[in-house]
Amino acid sequence: MKKLFVFVMVAALAIGSSFAQPGGDPAERLQREIDGLTTALGLSKEDVAKITPIVTEAQKKQSEAWAKMRESGNMDREKMREERTKMTAETDKALKAVLTAEQGVKLDAFRKQQAEERAKRMQERQ
């Protein structure tokens, strides 16, 4: 009986975690972003070392901005979209300062792809 109880609890936890928000914890989000940029831009280990602090700081600022909006009770989707767009532009400017011109072009294409995927997900939710 104890084994059955433990099995049910483990299964419940596994199922529950599968319904968690796709964002994950900050370290997971950071790693996904770094991995995505590495693949899309063809980054070397040296490049990754240059961009990691930039992306880390950008995600920290974004988390703080979202927390501030939640605390104020002002979760306006349009304002959040505008804020994300502004932050992404600032981050991309900093990234392009350490990337080659070719990688900068690839970054623009990667951001466009991300925006299309985000729009598709939003469309599917409606």
Please indicate, yes or no, if residue 17 is contained in any of the structural domains. no
Report if residue 13 sits inside a domain: no
- CA torsion sign for 8, 14, 19, 24 is positive
Cα–Cα distance for residue pair 55/33, rounded to 1 Å: 8
Q: How far is CA 21 from CA 17, 24, 39, 79, 88, in A?
A: 9, 6, 24, 21, 21
80 falls within a domain: yes
15 within a domain of the structure (yes/no): no
Per-residue pLDDT tens for 70-93?
A: 888 877 778 888 888 999 999 999
Crossing angle (nearest 10°) for helices 26-41 and 101-125: 130
In this structure, the number of other CB atoms found within 10 A of the CB of residue 41 comes to 22
Domains of the chain: total: 1
Long-range contacts made by residues 44-53, C-beta under 8 angstroms, separation at least 24?
Answer: 47/98, 47/99, 47/103, 50/98, 51/95, 51/98, 51/99
22 DSSP 8-state letter: T
On whether residue 113 sits in a domain, the answer given is: yes
Tens of pLDDT, residue by residue over 1-46, are: 555 444 445 444 444 444 444 567 888 999 999 999 999 999 999 9
Q: Which domain holds residue 114?
A: 28-125
Residue 74 lies in a domain: yes
Using a cut of 0.85, tell me whether the model's pTM lies above it.
no
